[in-house]
Every structure is written in structure tokens, then in C-alpha cells.
Amino acid sequence: MPLNHCRVSLWHGFYDSVESIRHRSPGDRMSSDPYSNNTDAEHHVQLSLAQTLCEAASTGVDTALAREILDQLVAYSDVHFLSEQLLMRLCSYPDYDDHLSDHDRLMLKLEAARQRDGEEQTLTPPAAEAILALLAQHISTRDRRFVDFFRDWSRHAAKPESPPIT
């Protein structure tokens, strides 16, 4: 398969995946909570970028495309983590420090992959898969706990007479 076709195919797969989230009806979403919906969509973008990176690494597409995908994943993750951290601080999330440490570890892993890529060492499929696995685990554990906490905090903030969160 020609590299240009590979490039187009990988990006189309990623954008099709992202567009499928944008066009869901509210009833199809996981929750009626707008924060959860936005966060789920952002997590889907992160996972789709990581999956696209895995595909790029395993198919051996040109290094420029793999670098572009990795750069997008690093930039997107950095902004996503920052917004999550701001919300955690806003609601005085008790596990903030541990969650922040997890974000830092993930960003170090992404930056290390980008550094190797910048040194013209191709990202290996196992390295790309490790990034995907770390993101998936973080989302399914730490982020899920935070979303649950934030949902409870939001309900309490909307109804000041409710009992405090313990």
C-alpha cells in the first residue's frame, strides 16, 4: 500500500471515530451529565490518537506521519490533563496529588517517545501499545473515580442544602 494511502487511511479512521461522537444524540451518550459527556469525548479522542499511533507504528508508515500523530497526542493530552486538573482543584478533589502524579507519568512517557522519535528512532509497536495501555488504564480507573466524585460535587454545589460530600 502506498504511503500516501496509508497516511490518508489512518487519519480518516481517526477522524471518523471522533466524528461519530460529535453526531450522537444526547440519548446515546453514556450520561446526561455534560461534564461526563465532554470528558468521555475527550478521552475518546485521546484513545483514538493513541490507537492511530499504534497503527502507524505497526504498519511502518513514514516517520513524519508517526511524528505528527505523536505530536497531536502530546499536545491534546497536555491540554486535557490541564483542564482536568483545574476542575479537580475547583472541587477540592481529595485524590488530586495522586491523579496529578499519574498525569505527570503519562506526559513523561509521551515526551520520552517524542524525544526518541526526534532522534530518528522509529517508535516501535510495543512502545506505542504501552502508551495506549497506560492511557486506557488511567481513563478506566483514575478518571472514572474523578468523574463520579465531580458528579456528586456538582449535585451538592447545585443544591447547597444537601448533606456535604464525605
Domain ranges of the chain: 3-158
The CATH label, of 3.30.70.141, 3.10.129.10, 3.30.479.30, 1.20.120.50, for the domain at 3-158 is: 1.20.120.50
The amino acid present at 102, given as its one-letter code, is D
Report the sign of the C-alpha dihedral through residues 102, 135, 119, 78, in that order: negative
pTM for the model stands at 0.75
**pLDDT tens-place string over residues 40-82:** 899 999 999 999 999 999 987 778 888 899 999 999 999 999 9
The CB density around residue 111, as the number of other CB atoms within 10 Å, is 13
**pLDDT tens-place string over residues 8-28:** 444 444 444 444 434 444 444
Q: Enumerate residues 6+ apart whose C-beta is below 8 A from 99.
A: 84, 85, 88, 93, 142, 146
Cα separation, 113 vs 163, whole angstroms: 46
Helix (H) or strand (E) holding 153: helix 144-158
